[in-house]
Structure 1
Amino acid sequence: MDNFLLRTKRNFNQWIIYPQVINKPFYSTSHYFFTKTYGLFVDFWERCTISLLLFMILICSQCKGAGLISGAACPTCRGNEEQALSATLLNTRLFFNFEKVTEWNIAARRAAFTVDTVINFSLRLIGGVGILFLAFYIYRQILSLNINIPLGLFSSDVWNLQSPYLRVFLATFLIDLYTVYRTMRAQELEMYVIKKEYQKNEKRDAQIRSVSINRAFSRFALEVIENAYLFALQNHYSEVLPLHLLAVLIAHPHSNIILFRLGINPGALAGKIKHGLQGLLYQEQQSGQPKRMAHFSPETKLVILNAYMEAHERGGEKVQVWDLWTPIADIEGYAKEILYDLDIETYKMRHVGQWVQVEEDLRRKTAFRRAHSHGGFFARHGMDRAMTAVETKTLNSFSTDLTYMASRGALPPSLGRAKEIEQVFTILQSGAAGVMLVGGIGVGKESIVDEIAARMSADMAPDILRDKRLVALSVASVLAGGGAEGSAERLYRALYEAAHSGNILLFIKDIHYLVGVGLKGEAGASTVGMDAVLTEALQSRRFFVIGTTDYKNYSLHIEHSPLRNVLTRIEVLEPNLEDTVLMLEARAPFIEGKHGVFFTYQALTAAVEFSNKLIHTEHQPEKAETILREVASSVATSRGRRAVVTDQDVAKTIAQKINMPIARLEKSESEKLLRLEEEIHKRYINQDYAVVQVSAALRRARAELRDERRPIANFLFVGPTGVGKTELVKRIASVYFNSEKDMVRLDMSEFQEIGGITRLIGEGETPGLLTESVRMNPYSVLLLDELEKAHPNILNLFLQVMDDGRLTSGEGEVIDFTNLIIVATSNAGTKKVQEYLASGKRIEDIREQFVKKDLLEWFKPEFINRFDDVIVFKPLSEENIQAIAQLILTDIAGKLESKGIKLRIAPGAVVELANFGFDPLFGARPLRRAIQDHVQNALANYLIAGQIGRRDTVHLEPGGVIRIEKAAEL
């Protein structure tokens, strides 16, 4: 084995290759070392990544997995598939036996399947006939003997073995028994994908066994592989490549849903595949190499092995057709390039594959519920499968058994919260009494609990939760009626039964409602609270609790409750875009079923992106799900059932919801960013260097060349007052975020004391000025005006924000700053800038010296380094002031035009006003006052006095003269 390469797949988008001698499993040594060294933390990390770390591809270093060299068997692996290319997963060495994929074996397997199908059908038909004869015999006997049902059927007079009907049944009964035997035998011989399990260390260290995974593929997935081989063989290709698999996949009926969800035009995809196959065949013909029997290339073998891993990751029993799509999009080759050209990347393909799996699971669960519709979703007893628990009457009357519901398929599926679920399992295994899920409203805390119940019912939970029930206790039912004494008694009885039963994991939604509710002693004094009762019960460690609450209620109630000491806090953050899309895929089938429409993957992505950008009062995935429901209802009403919902439909619905023209949602961002300087200069004069630097930084950010864990951009604008620093910030908000209103402005001169930190982040029920503003406007410009006046500790606060892109509010909620443009303005060191300019230095040269030397007198080096760029503004010239005056007067003309009045401005009047408003010390600030005194005040008097009417023309002339030209009377 010394000549093999170990390829460890850390994630599905990157391969890392290690030369390694494989004498024993790689993971046994690493597990021992890490567990002994880092304890519980690393054990948790291992469980979170166990499937990825233990899935290793073993490739022969000489033939690179092909098994052949120049048409002959590889001398190292001897062409053995297990030695040429295989994988290890959870102490099992997996390989696909490609030797069985030959023309003869394919024909033999398909013939055997056909014969087996005919035999099974015939046996079931004969057995059914026998049952019909039995039913007819019983019917005749009932009529002839007039017996009572059902007790009369046990009379010996009823059963006459001489009856030909009964003899036929007895004969077919033996066939029924044989049919049952064949079915059970087929189930025993069936092979399934290895399940994701929580295994003990000694199991992981067991000796590896080798298994052929051919039978773990579904019949349809196996047909795709076989048809790809036959296609390559019949068309004289020497290798079966992923491109051949792709060519066969697009023709398979099970792929139609994949293509539909991704919005792929099958004709366009088929055309690209055909072109690629023609080129491949031409290359083989031109190579001059002798023709040989088609064999599977190493890339195709990797696709098949990774398809098995995809099925393992999603918890599937069999490798399905859609599992083959993701590795084709992941493994380098012409097939991947085709999909990439159609904007189909690995993560999108994996998401859609999981979406299809969710729909399949829901179909099975729906069929199961219909078959068991006579049963309810409340457990009729409190016994576990080991028959060791006791009855829980009181608890049952105030709760719902979630594991029972999960076993009956009554809980919605959950995706995208694997990390939080693993945290729950790890904490419970560590001996903790329970966990507290803390997150914003609508982030999906209950879906985590539903998924835990599903895993418990499917035996995919740790041993500590095996044979236990996850029970949701209704706090409202416990507290309703009977006063505090009755509520306390009901809670105590329910908790006593949970502890005495020994098989309960209790889920309490909004657990903060238990805090502050208690029994009253003499003179109304509180003696004990409900939370104290629960805390005391949990300290017995005889049952577990999962509670949920939001940040505000955690800060107000749980922080001061004894529950804080017994329940471990787990943060449930708002999911990112990819995880939100996954969560929507789990919910989409219910919305589709209700409204009779179908979503594309692009529609789900658009719902997440638009709601992230434009809806700031709710959390994901709730706000995106709300959008999808509204879109589905609108499309079903306008286009009827079975309509397809696209991203354009989502854009239209959101535009109507927030009263924004749809054109602004659909406008090309690339075109706007490429001419960003031009857009800014439409209403901004001078400061070319500043505009160019800001525009370049914003383009880098939009091209995703930035660190996405930090804000979009961090700028420090330095320069004299009145030179346009704040005005440029407004232009950035207007051009980049579509409106000057998308700006959060903080005057840092108000935060000169250290107590200003509390004002910024909030405390208790009082929200912070900074955190609340950013929470409500996560896509905006944050302007920190006059930064040099803020307290140094407040500067340290923003140092964290600019570095980490997040800040925890006083309520404990994590606020996201990664979608902000942070701009700080400062007048620090402006005298130095003016001195440098007076000496004739260029602004580009001034910046380097100013930042490295002069600015350090005001800010620490580590703080300055957090800015993407420090932009030095130069003073305005007289020409700049004149241009600004023209812009201001043009604005006034626009306001008058809305009243039906025209304003004509003489060039001399503009120059005169600019001279009045020019001040080298204060920049353009005096200009607005000059225009206000000489123009706006006079116009206001004329308008109020009624001297100017509609259709009149106002002439602004030098000397401050305002002449009114009255319109002709009609």
Structure 2
Amino acid sequence: KGAGLISGAACPTCRGNEEQALSATLLNTRLFFNFEKVTEWNIAARRAAFTVDTVINFSLRLIGGVGILFLAFYIYRQILSLNINIPLGLFSSDVWNLQSPYLRVFLATFLIDLYTVYRTMRAQELEMYVIKKEYQKNEKRDAQIRSVSINRAFSRFALEVIENAYLFALQNHYSEVLPLHLLAVLIAHPHSNIILFRLGINPGALAGKIKHGLQGLLYQEQQSGQPKRMAHFSPETKLVILNAYMEAHERGGEKVQVWDLWTPIADIEGYAKEILYDLDIETYKMRHVGQWVQVEEDLRRKTAFRRAHSHGGFFARHGMDRAMTAVETKTLNSFSTDLTYMASRGALPPSLGRAKEIEQVFTILQSGAAGVMLVGGIGVGKESIVDEIAARMSADMAPDILRDKRLVALSVASVLAGGGAEGSAERLYRALYEAAHSGNILLFIKDIHYLVGVGLKGEAGASTVGMDAVLTEALQSRRFFVIGTTDYKNYSLHIEHSPLRNVLTRIEVLEPNLEDTVLMLEARAPFIEGKHGVFFTYQALTAAVEFSNKLIHTEHQPEKAETILREVASSVATSRGRRAVVTDQDVAKTIAQKINMPIARLEKSESEKLLRLEEEIHKRYINQDYAVVQVSAALRRARAELRDERRPIANFLFVGPTGVGKTELVKRIASVYFNSEKDMVRLDMSEFQEIGGITRLIGEGETPGLLTESVRMNPYSVLLLDELEKAHPNILNLFLQVMDDGRLTSGEGEVIDFTNLIIVATSNAGTKKVQEYLASGKRIEDIREQFVKKDLLEWFKPEFINRFDDVIVFKPLSEENIQAIAQLILTDIAGKLESKGIKLRIAPGAVVELANFGFDPLFGARPLRRAIQDHVQNALANYLIAGQIGRRDTVHLEPGGVIRIEKAAEL
């Protein structure tokens, strides 16, 4: 508990010192926060001292500024009176008259300027910073552990939060300073506004919860009956403050900032953590947002630095040879960019989320290897790893083996451009010679596989010395290092058979997980925000990652999530203007519009629609109530995200005689879930009765497959497998894999994603049995189990049937069903006529008559369409073409096939 005692005796580590009882050890240094200095008197004294120092520093700078003005005025007068040339004339002894009061004032203030510089340097010496990470053991460090107070490592604002929490507890008669008091003070601090904004927290709601907690805490203390004592920091609060230091250490910060206090509050058990958890704020989210704020602060500093040095034309274009013993590298500089120089100027984008890979690079280089090769998919962020290494080298946060070295990006395109193979090889050789001779180069070669297969040609035209061989030979000298990048395909095609494979250690750069991807987006979000003038919430970044993981499988993270953010930012800026806030709902709506599939959070209107989905389907679908209920339930599960996301959205098998509405229900599914009947891929399985149909479905070589290419082009749709029972058994095994894994590899080797499809197979298998059961008086609901477990097995294997979420048996249509379908078809015709300005009036007797013409127990509703086509549509087409029907006319459809035209009154 941090009391400094163990079983009543003094702790051997802190020797009973309560202030050091809660401590952390970093690099042989025990760190503790001296809470004895946090008293009313000390707080007042520190703040008064800060105010006095601020006034003194301002006064000294003001006096120094006045002196410089006097000097400028003196020089101006001398120029006018002596008519001297600038600047050489200023070195003349006639110009400087020590009797001048202006010059004497400047000389007096110059001494003050020197004192100001001394004060500033002295303050910097006394300043304390967070201990930086070290990448190798320091043998010279004394093994004796020393104790250090970390109070001065906290920024002024972070220290004020701790002090104000103490004063708040003291003034309101609390006996302990709890994390809840820290939280109460934090939400009022200006530096916390960005934290609350990014997390989408309503400050009023949070303040209300904190107030309620504080009131309950005070009531408990009053009811306890214990004597009052001076407020002191609880062990939990001490741990929060100590962990805040560790947070700053982990992110490489110089000082403990206000946002470093938020993460441990969300992590350490207590009422404050419960409040944040209730608002869906967990430790990792708070840590991510803290790092995001730090990225923005660093970018602001870098931007200010670049502006301050924007006129520094004396800086080298390609950087400088940093080490005192470095050799000039003219050829290398002409084909490369100095990344360490760019990092020192703040010109490289920040990078987060690749600490593991960076540590691997450092470890391998320290082991004596010639270099590393980063191998990963396109868009996983291999270059960002190199940028971060450059940033760490520039900030002296890299291992000693990289100290005073330059990370130089060699442009392969520039090396290969012009001069043919011989010229390219010569340029590469000279650049590598300079790198080796210089002794301070870490060479970065993007897409290093381009060097393979390019080289000098022998007399017979065969390649004698490849560029990769030249690089390999140079690396064997161990006088410089190389970091190369390539993707899996090019590594397999080129690097596997190149000598580079033996000198460069391979590091896998895998697609990052959700948390690391969010971190990477935080580093890139400020640039997107700056371009479009919008602001992202943390939930928007998380949504971009989650949705892209679910819905986009042809690209890699973080590139695909970043692409989504750019599209959403552009859309929101266009629709709501600049300074708009981008939320997770904006991300979902933008993606939903792009893929024509509902993924946004359910709004009231859509919720009501889903709850009465059966009614929605039945608006244009007759009968088959059981089928509609089962399909609606599956779509609700999918929309509520309660399905297995590794499988298709739903897998259905529709079994029944022809013409009973199996295909029509599939169209309604596409219309309701994907918003259009066009979002349907249809395959007639009677065309795949031979085993060679597998090749037609998945493709072969460069020939795309009918199935894989259709799904690749329409990944968000309904896949209809018509007459499934006619397909070859091996093809059924193919779909067994699809329904189980949600993936299928095409003949071209590309993995096709089926997880955003609704798969519906239709079949007439066993329908004779169904009709026999129904004829015997059994209900469709009663015969389903027997039909699926017994009769259907004559057509399909049990393991195949089990892959379907539901096998739905369709019953034959009755005469009443046919009449209702006839009414729907005629209503569609009426709608088409209405678009032409013509009204259609349908007599009930005409509907019954048409239904009788189209009713066939064997073929269901199929003959009905032909009957309506023959008796209604053909006649209407003739009247329209002949001009006998015009706008505002009314057409009456009457029994006996009579079509009567009622002409509109003349205008």
Helix, strand or coil at the partner of 1:204: coil
Q: Which moved more, 1:200-209 or 1:943-952?
A: 200-209
1:402-442: CA deviation from partner (whole Å, max 9, x where unpaired) = 22211221012234555665676677778887666677776
C-alpha separation in 2, matches of 1:856 and 1:89 = 68
1:545-604: CA deviation from partner (whole Å, max 9, x where unpaired) = 555567888899889988789878878777777666554543443455456665555666
C-alpha separation in 1, matches of 2:848 and 2:138 = 85
Task: Check conservation: 2:472, 2:500, Cα contact below 8 A.
Answer: yes
1:522-558: CA deviation from partner (whole Å, max 9, x where unpaired) = 6877777666766776687766655556788889988
Q: Which moved more, 1:522-531 or 1:411-420?
A: 522-531
1:834–1:247 Cα change, 3 Å: farther
C-alpha separation in 2, matches of 1:285 and 1:72 = 32
Match of 1:775 in 2: 712
Listed as ranges, the gaps of 5+ residues in structure 1 are 1-63
C-alpha separation in 1, matches of 2:192 and 2:78 = 54
2:470 is matched with which residue: 514, 528, 533?
533
C-alpha separation in 2, matches of 1:264 and 1:934 = 65
C-alpha separation in 2, matches of 1:325 and 1:879 = 68
The CA deviation at 1:396 is 1.4
Q: Which moved more, 1:689-698 or 1:611-620?
A: 611-620
Q: Does 1:655 align with 2:596?
A: no
1:861–1:127 Cα change, 3 Å: farther
Match of 1:579 in 2: 516
Task: Check conservation: 1:377, 1:404, Cα contact below 8 A.
Answer: no
C-alpha separation in 2, matches of 1:362 and 1:776 = 40
1:81–1:827 Cα change, 3 Å: farther
Q: Which moved more, 1:641-650 or 1:158-167?
A: 158-167
Q: Does 1:910 align with 2:855?
A: no
The CA deviation at 1:361 is 0.3
1:271–1:816 Cα change, 3 Å: same
The CA deviation at 1:486 is 2.5
C-alpha separation in 2, matches of 1:563 and 1:794 = 44
Task: Check conservation: 2:303, 2:346, Cα contact below 8 A.
Answer: yes
Task: Check conservation: 2:536, 2:583, Cα contact below 8 A.
Answer: yes
Q: Which moved more, 1:701-710 or 1:885-894?
A: 701-710
The CA deviation at 1:270 is 3.4
Task: Check conservation: 1:383, 1:389, Cα contact below 8 A.
Answer: no
1:864–1:220 Cα change, 3 Å: farther
The CA deviation at 1:218 is 1.6
1:352–1:528 Cα change, 3 Å: same
Please, what is the CA RMSD of the aligned residues? Answer: 5.6
The CA deviation at 1:133 is 9.2
Match of 2:288 in 1: 351
The CA deviation at 1:329 is 4.4
Task: Check conservation: 2:179, 2:240, Cα contact below 8 A.
Answer: yes
1:120–1:735 Cα change, 3 Å: same
Q: Identity of counterpart residues, as a percentage? A: 100
The CA deviation at 1:711 is 4.4
1:682–1:920 Cα change, 3 Å: same
Match of 2:558 in 1: 621
1:131–1:520 Cα change, 3 Å: same
1:382–1:953 Cα change, 3 Å: closer
The CA deviation at 1:221 is 1.1
1:335-388: CA deviation from partner (whole Å, max 9, x where unpaired) = 455556656555554443333212210121123223443557986789876666
Task: Check conservation: 1:96, 1:213, Cα contact below 8 A.
Answer: yes
1:138–1:623 Cα change, 3 Å: same
1:488 is matched with which residue: 425, 429, 437?
425
Helix, strand or coil at the partner of 1:75: coil
C-alpha separation in 2, matches of 1:803 and 1:377 = 65
C-alpha separation in 2, matches of 1:847 and 1:963 = 48
The CA deviation at 1:138 is 10
The CA deviation at 1:207 is 9.3
C-alpha separation in 1, matches of 2:138 and 2:813 = 72
Match of 1:735 in 2: 672
The CA deviation at 1:953 is 2.8
Task: Check conservation: 1:439, 1:813, Cα contact below 8 A.
Answer: no
1:716 is matched with which residue: 619, 636, 653?
653
The CA deviation at 1:74 is 12
The CA deviation at 1:905 is 2.9
The CA deviation at 1:505 is 4.2
C-alpha separation in 2, matches of 1:203 and 1:960 = 106
C-alpha separation in 1, matches of 2:663 and 2:419 = 62
1:851-903: CA deviation from partner (whole Å, max 9, x where unpaired) = 66666666666665555545454444444443333323322222222122222
C-alpha separation in 1, matches of 2:161 and 2:127 = 19
1:147–1:488 Cα change, 3 Å: same
C-alpha separation in 2, matches of 1:278 and 1:956 = 77
Q: Which moved more, 1:359-368 or 1:101-110?
A: 101-110
Task: Check conservation: 1:617, 1:776, Cα contact below 8 A.
Answer: no
C-alpha separation in 1, matches of 2:641 and 2:87 = 76
The CA deviation at 1:136 is 9.7
Q: How many residues align?
A: 907
Task: Check conservation: 2:180, 2:210, Cα contact below 8 A.
Answer: yes
Give runs of aligned pairs for residues 564-963 of structure 1, distance below 5 A. Answer: 582-593=519-530, 598=535, 669-747=606-684, 773-786=710-723, 802=739, 805=742, 817-826=754-763, 867-920=804-857, 922-963=859-900
1:298-355: CA deviation from partner (whole Å, max 9, x where unpaired) = 5544543443344344332222112233444455555455556656555554443333
1:758–1:234 Cα change, 3 Å: farther
Q: Which moved more, 1:236-245 or 1:282-291?
A: 282-291
1:382–1:70 Cα change, 3 Å: closer
Task: Check conservation: 1:377, 1:401, Cα contact below 8 A.
Answer: no
The CA deviation at 1:681 is 2.7
C-alpha separation in 2, matches of 1:394 and 1:115 = 56
Q: Which moved more, 1:608-617 or 1:457-466?
A: 608-617
Helix, strand or coil at the partner of 2:460: helix
1:667–1:865 Cα change, 3 Å: same
C-alpha separation in 2, matches of 1:427 and 1:873 = 65
The CA deviation at 1:654 is 8.7
Q: Does 1:238 align with 2:175?
A: yes
1:315–1:798 Cα change, 3 Å: farther
Task: Check conservation: 2:598, 2:639, Cα contact below 8 A.
Answer: no
Q: Which moved more, 1:673-682 or 1:246-255?
A: 673-682
The CA deviation at 1:508 is 4.0
1:499-522: CA deviation from partner (whole Å, max 9, x where unpaired) = 555554444445565567666666
C-alpha separation in 1, matches of 2:133 and 2:750 = 33
Task: Check conservation: 2:596, 2:716, Cα contact below 8 A.
Answer: no
C-alpha separation in 2, matches of 1:524 and 1:785 = 58
The normalised TM-score by structure 1 is 0.75
The CA deviation at 1:839 is 6.1
Task: Check conservation: 2:331, 2:430, Cα contact below 8 A.
Answer: yes
The CA deviation at 1:227 is 0.8
1:765–1:550 Cα change, 3 Å: farther
The CA deviation at 1:224 is 0.9
Task: Check conservation: 1:382, 1:392, Cα contact below 8 A.
Answer: no
1:437–1:670 Cα change, 3 Å: farther
Task: Check conservation: 2:320, 2:341, Cα contact below 8 A.
Answer: no
Q: Which moved more, 1:393-402 or 1:410-419?
A: 410-419
Match of 1:507 in 2: 444
1:498–1:376 Cα change, 3 Å: farther
1:721–1:400 Cα change, 3 Å: farther
Match of 2:461 in 1: 524
Task: Check conservation: 1:556, 1:764, Cα contact below 8 A.
Answer: no
Task: Check conservation: 1:96, 1:214, Cα contact below 8 A.
Answer: yes
The CA deviation at 1:163 is 11
C-alpha separation in 2, matches of 1:69 and 1:234 = 33
C-alpha separation in 2, matches of 1:459 and 1:310 = 20
C-alpha separation in 1, matches of 2:180 and 2:124 = 34
1:609–1:878 Cα change, 3 Å: farther
Listed as ranges, the gaps of 5+ residues in structure 2 are none
Q: Which moved more, 1:616-625 or 1:321-330?
A: 616-625
